[in-house]
């Protein structure tokens, strides 16, 4: 099986690769369109800022490449946000796989000041997908993000941080997690295993 991690100007690519290696999976890190298209599974990770990253993807036609993939694709963190329709972060149109608007965390009650970014371990629930097969009850996963996708028709797991948001999304062959499976211990490893097994 050929697993590809898309190489672009975003952080955490190597940590995803190391997490796969711990599972005995050797991945290719590349931005070569033909190699990506020929892969059995594609991972689209990301830590960074939406507008500069979308500009980078567009300059290399990676945005249209990703949208046109037919094999299972897993977006992680910024990868999830860029797979949505639009991000408030610097007024950025995104790839549009998920018809969601990515919004910044803001305290819903003025006297209840939340810390942004949402960083650390938090519980996910309402897990409704093959991505979460296995002993995933009461799963705590690791988050680092200031922006989120709201609950919508593609939501397959939820999380609460002042508001309830999508911890994971799924549409057709596209999957995405707002949390970092590569940093989330057993639940994250299980998500990666389940994705590879799709």
Sign of CA dihedral 181, 182, 185, 188: positive
Contacts of 46 (CB under 8 A, 6+ apart): 8, 10, 11, 12, 53, 75, 76, 77, 78, 79, 81, 82
**Catalytic residue (choose from 118, 145, 170, 180):** 180
Distance of alpha carbon 177 from alpha carbon 81, whole angstroms: 9
Q: Are 170 and 157 in contact (CB under 8 A)?
A: no
**Catalytic residue (choose from 77, 84, 94, 159):** 77
Q: Are 174 and 73 in contact (CB under 8 A)?
A: yes
**Catalytic residue (choose from 84, 100, 145, 182):** 182
Residues forming beta bridges with residue 44, ordered by sequence position: 75
Residue 182 annotated in active site? yes
Residue 77 annotated in active site? yes
What residues are annotated to the active site?
Answer: 77, 180, 182
């Amino acid at each position: 099986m050929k697993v590809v991690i898309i190489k672009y100007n975003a952080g955490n690519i190597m940590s995803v690769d190391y997490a796969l290696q711990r599972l005995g999976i050797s991945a290719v890190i590349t931005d070569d369109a033909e190699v990506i298209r020929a892969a059995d599974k594609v991972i689209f990770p990301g830590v960074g800022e939406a507008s500069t990253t979308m500009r980078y993807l567009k300059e290399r036609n990676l945005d249209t490449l990703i949208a046109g993939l037919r094999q299972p694709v897993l977006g992680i963190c910024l990868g999830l946000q860029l797979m949505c329709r639009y991000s408030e972060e610097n007024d950025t149109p995104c790839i549009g796989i998920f018809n969601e608007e990515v919004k910044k965390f803001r305290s819903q009650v003025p006297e209840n000041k939340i810390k942004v970014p949402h960083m650390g371990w938090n519980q996910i629930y309402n897990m409704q997908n093959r991505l979460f097969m296995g002993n995933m009850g009461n799963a705590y996963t690791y988050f680092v993000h200031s922006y989120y996708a709201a609950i919508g028709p593609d939501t397959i797991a939820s999380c609460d941080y002042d508001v309830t948001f999508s911890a994971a999304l799924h549409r057709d062959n596209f999957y995405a997690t707002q949390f970092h499976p590569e940093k989330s211990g057993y639940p994250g490893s299980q998500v990666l295993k389940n994705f590879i097994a799709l």
